A and B are shown apart, each in its own frame.
Chain A
Amino acid sequence: KAKPAQKDEL
């Protein structure tokens, strides 16, 4: 389960 390339959380 990867983490997304872009950080979309604050």
Chain B
Amino acid sequence: MNIFRLLGDICHLVAIIVLLLKIWKTRSCAGISGKSQILFALVYTTRYVDLFFTYVSLYNSVMKVIFLASSYATLYLIYVKFKATYDFNHDTFRIEFLLIPCVILSLLITHDYSPVELLWTFSIYLEAVAILPQLFMVSKTGEAETITSHYLFALGAYRALYIVNWIYRYYTESFIDGIAVVAGIIQTILYADFFYLYITKVLKGKDFKLPA
């Protein structure tokens, strides 16, 4: 473990908590893409299947349980409890256009063909694009609640910090996992224009609005 990965995991945890609190406190999931949350739940489910038979550390196991539980709790809030506030008119990204390419790619480019490894590879590719329905929804509505922009910033920062963690591990432990690094860079790049808007607008106290 290194400080970059720890900060990344904390950002990730903060993002998930901020989203849950936003929906719970405002009793509304307006502006939140349920489709992205479905993809995230799928990412954690396929990535953490080893939760039950490989023990890395208490921290590792606890975080996996938290990510799994919170992602399903978020789905419950969006699609069951506050279903009436779910903005399905704007959450229209065709996630099959993400799922199918990720399945194909994970069969073409993977470290090995064991079921756990294939699921892990699939989850890495899917995580890279899981935010697209949310970013698409924000572009359709042209704006996002400030709390939602904080959620997106923390979520984007988590994988950006993981890239720093991979650079650090490359030089200190000769560790490198090309699949995770390439997908992580793509994932972070997808947030680039959002980061720009967030820093130039939200941090200056303005609303998060896309230029018309």
Q: Spell out A's residues near B (CB within 8 Å).
A: 1-4, 6-10
A9 to B162, CA, bound (A): 9
| Bound-state Cα–Cα, A9 to B12, Å | 13
Q: Contact at A6–B60, with CB atoms within 8 Å? A: no
**Roughly how many angstroms separate A4 CA and B42 CA in the complex, as a whole number?**
24
Taking A9-B5, A9-B162, A10-B9 as contacts, is the C-beta distance between A3 and B50 under 8 angstroms?
A: no
- Is B96 located at the chain interface by the 8 A CB criterion? no
Does any Cβ of A come within 8 Å of B86's Cβ?
Answer: no
Q: B208 contacts the other chain (Cβ, under 8 Å)? A: no
Summarize B's interface: helix, strand, loop or mixed: helix
- Counted as pairs of residues, one from A and one from B, with CB atoms less than 8 Å apart, the total is 31
The DSSP consensus for interface residues of chain A is loop
Q: What would 22 A/B residue contacts be, using CB atoms closer than 8 Å? A: A1-B174, A1-B176, A2-B175, A2-B176, A3-B111, A3-B175, A3-B177, A3-B178, A4-B175, A6-B56, A7-B56, A7-B120, A8-B56, A8-B57, A8-B60, A9-B5, A9-B165, A9-B180, A10-B9, A10-B60, A10-B64, A10-B67
Closest to B44 in A: A10
Cβ 8 A contact of B174, one of A2, A7, A9: A2
Residue of A nearest to B13 (CB): A10
A7 CB, nearest partner CB in chain B, Å = 7
List of A residues within 8 angstroms of B165 by Cβ:
9
Judged by a CB distance under 8 angstroms, whether B170 is at the interface is yes
